[in-house]
Amino acid sequence: MWLDDTSREALLDTVSGFIIPGIVFLLTLVSGVWLSRSGKPLNTGIFTVHKLIALGAVIAAAIQTYGALRSTEAQAILIVLLILIGLCVVALFATGALISMNKPTYRTLLTIHRITPVLALLAEAATIYLIVAGT
């Protein structure tokens, strides 16, 4: 795909803005693996770091997505993807909290907690693609 200079610059601006949220997302995954390998009961310090990094990832991604959306027309699919991402975030925070309480449904919660970030990442990637394609 050949882009003119203006289109290439717009693409790079949009995509490069998501580098920091992507790095923070990876840090969230790394701290989650570290937390899960620390054993039971969960280490409070690692758990707190994981929660704060996750919150930072959500805030960074939301700011970038909002900024990128201002430069494109609202499409129904974008709204659906953003709702899906929001639901994934709520599910991640809820399952994380319940996992930390060591509920009887621990295995189910852990499975949801492991699948949801992949779903959120795919929805965010599709959102970025649609934003870039719309600019």
In this predicted structure, the answer to whether residue 130 has a pLDDT above a threshold of 70 is yes
Q: Which band of pLDDT confidence, cut at 50, 70 and 90, is reported for residue 76? A: confident
Which pLDDT score is estimated for 79?
Answer: 84
- Could you tell me the pTM of the whole model? 0.74
The Cα–Cα gap between 60 and 83 comes to 17
In this predicted structure, the answer to whether residue 5 has a pLDDT above a threshold of 70 is no
Q: Which band of pLDDT confidence, cut at 50, 70 and 90, is reported for residue 135? A: low
Q: 122 vs 2, 36, 99, CA distance in Å?
A: 25, 23, 24
